[in-house]
Amino acid sequence: MMKRVIIVGGGYAGANLARLLDKLAEVCVVEARDHFVHNVAAIRSVVDPSLLARIVIPYDRLLRRGRVRQGIVSSAFDGGVTLADGATIEGDIVIVATGSHYARPFKPTLHGTRAFEDSVKAAHASLLAADRVAIVGGGAVGVELAGEIASAHPRKRVTLVSGAPALMPGYSAKLAGSLEAQLRAKGVDIHLGTRVESLDATDSPYLGTLSSTPDAAEDQLIFPALGARPITAVFRRMPTASFDAQGRVAVDAWLRPAGARRLFALGDAAATGDPMTIVAITRQVPWLAKIIAATLAGESPQSLPAYVPWSSRGILVPLGPRDGASVLPVTRHGLLVGKWPTALIKGRELFIPRYRKEFGYSGQFA
């Protein structure tokens, strides 16, 4: 009989791993949401909500043999998972890839994707009505959003505020410098090292004032873009689990949390040594698929090579469809590339055709 693999979370990590294992095992993905959302393109959806029809993708064609079951997992253990409705699913191997939250309108909550679509449409309507926009947060989401808005609406006044001394904290100074120069050339007003003391909301855009910028008294559309928060409720029910400063669950060298033997964690929820990116997941998933294949064949994970994170932090940061800069993790320190390669690899299409294809929907609005 085929062994069963349970994957908690059908986001970028869980869905990709499920596809790789579909031929090898009976795969059951338990996913809270009704659809996959390609959140990479959620940023541009704020200026072009017509993208929504292509980035909210059903799960029904993801797997040929296995299945995606909608439900919320409340606990996971060596040998299975328990769902919030009390059901238990047993499995030989369990992978928990519960990912992270982000402020609206950039990622859906666990409760369905309709509210996500509504939040994108509402943000778009507010954007059309606003003359001034302020983005709080100078990481990838804030920087990309500033680039998208400034490219699509060159007459709006766009301000980007960050408490950090440079854009893109954690990434190379050259990447930050290139993005800053391009944003300034698009007319974006950038305030670095500027802490915003009080935001009316940190989880959704709102109309208000921002005391730390010039024209402080004027109303503007404020987008909080303060970073991802790992979703770790499942791990918090494991008595010996521990967490890093970002709240990601600590794992051993084979990505197993809390002393587990055949339970793995990956993606944004796990302290893998990589940043919380899909770029990181493209390294973790093929590695874990090999470990699981060997484990299913009777080997113990410890007898196999441990996980080694990327040595350089790769990231692709478009500023609208034509501009941007990226670090490709192809050399030890990463290779900085500019507008054209960034547009070609990501900026033009935002990987939408690729993810539609992975989910079996190529051809339709591809």
Ligand X SMILES: Cc1cc2nc3c(=O)[nH]c(=O)nc-3n(C[C@H](O)[C@H](O)[C@H](O)COP(=O)(O)OP(=O)(O)OC[C@H]3O[C@@H](n4cnc5c(N)ncnc54)[C@H](O)[C@@H]3O)c2cc1C
β-strand pairing of 323-328 with 315-319: antiparallel
Partners of 270 in the β-ladder: 249
β-strand pairing of 263-265 with 93-96: parallel
Question: Could you say whether residue 11 binds ligand X (CB under 6 A)?
Answer: yes
Q: Report the greatest alpha carbon distance in the chain.
A: 68
- Of 175-183, 203-211, 227-235, 302-310, the segment contacting ligand X by CB under 6 A is 227-235
- Of 37-45, 121-129, 165-173, 322-330, the segment contacting ligand X by CB under 6 A is 37-45
172 or 209: whose CB is closer to ligand X?
172
Is residue 220 within 8 Å of 210, Cβ to Cβ? Answer: yes
Query: Least Å distance between CB 230 and ligand X?
Result: 9
Q: Which of 71, 100, 101 is nearest to 84 (CA)?
A: 71
CA distance readout (Å), 349 to 49, 66, 265:
14, 29, 30
Residue nearest to ligand X (CB): 11
d(CA 78, CA 257): 11
216 Cβ partners below 8 Å, 6+ apart? 209, 210
Binding mask 335-364 for ligand X (x = CB under 6 A): ------------------------------
Question: Could you say whether residue 334 binds ligand X (CB under 6 A)?
Answer: no
Query: Least Å distance between CB 211 and ligand X?
Result: 26
d(CA 80, CA 356): 30
d(CA 336, CA 318): 13
DSSP element (H, E) containing 141: helix 140-152
Binding mask 38-77 for ligand X (x = CB under 6 A): -xx-xx----------------------------xx----
Question: Could you say whether residue 110 binds ligand X (CB under 6 A)?
Answer: yes
Among 59, 102, 359, 361, binds ligand X (CB under 6 A): 102
Strand order in the sheet with 93-96: 67-70, 26-31, 4-8, 93-96, 263-265
Query: Least Å distance between CB 333 and ligand X?
Result: 18
Query: Least Å distance between CB 108 and ligand X?
Result: 7
210 or 352: whose CB is closer to ligand X?
352
Q: Which of 22, 112, 114 is nearest to 61 (CA)?
A: 22
Question: Could you say whether residue 98 binds ligand X (CB under 6 A)?
Answer: yes
- Of 93-101, 150-158, 190-198, 319-327, the segment contacting ligand X by CB under 6 A is 93-101
Query: Least Å distance between CB 200 and ligand X?
Result: 21
H helix intervals, 229-277: 233-236
Residues in region 284-303 near ligand X by CB under 6 A:
none
Task: State yes or no: cis peptide before 321, omega within 30 of 0.
Answer: no
* Number of chain positions touching ligand X (CB under 6 A): 38
DSSP secondary-structure letter at 345?
A: I
Binding mask 260-279 for ligand X (x = CB under 6 A): -------xxx------xxxx
User: How is residue 171 written in tokens?
Assistant: 């990434």
23 or 111: whose CB is closer to ligand X?
111
Question: Could you say whether residue 188 binds ligand X (CB under 6 A)?
Answer: no
Instruction: Catalog residues that contact ligand X under the rule CB under 6 A.
Output: 8-14, 30-33, 39-40, 42-43, 72-73, 97-100, 102, 106-107, 110, 141, 231, 233-234, 267-269, 276-279, 281, 316
